Amino acid sequence: MGTGSLGGKRGIIAEANVVPLIDILPVLLVIFMVIPHRQSGLDAALPRQVQSPVPSDPPAVIIVHVASDGTVWINQTAVKRDELSGRLETLLATRIDRVAFLQGDRSLEFQPVAQVLEAMHSAGASPVGLLTSELEKKR
């Protein structure tokens, strides 16, 4: 920037010379137009939405019933004894509380009920409540 001085009765007059600044503006304009085209970001691997079946709400209470003929039922659905642990694991996997109830027929000996109780514990049911026929009558 330069200053100009004019002699005279008024004194010194200072003027800013902006001509050199005007020469820089086109250069800055070109720089700011070119820079965004040369930048490249990182490749992002975005997760894809998986089309899965909507899970149904699990039953509120899990009741395992051992009938007098030895068949096992989970919430009124018949289950084979060798599939009992697997079915209970899938039912209990989606739950925060892992409470299950065991109901045995009165005519059964304790051995079949104990086997089902062991299968329930190995599937992750904790605690396991025992239902009796007296409790069912009070419902």
In order of their start, the domains of the chain are: 63-138 (3.30.420.270)
How far apart, in whole angstroms, are the C-alpha atoms of residue 82 and residue 80?
6
pLDDT at 79: 92
Q: How high does pLDDT run on average in the chain?
A: 81
Q: What's the average model confidence in pLDDT over 97-109?
A: 87
Give the predicted TM-score (pTM) of the model.
0.54
- Angle between helices 110-123 and 84-93 in degrees, nearest 10: 40
* pLDDT at position 125 over 60: yes
- Using alpha carbons, list the distances in angstroms from residue 64 to 7, 56, 115: 110, 20, 12
The per-residue pLDDT for 7 is 55
112-123 pLDDT tens trace? 888 899 999 888
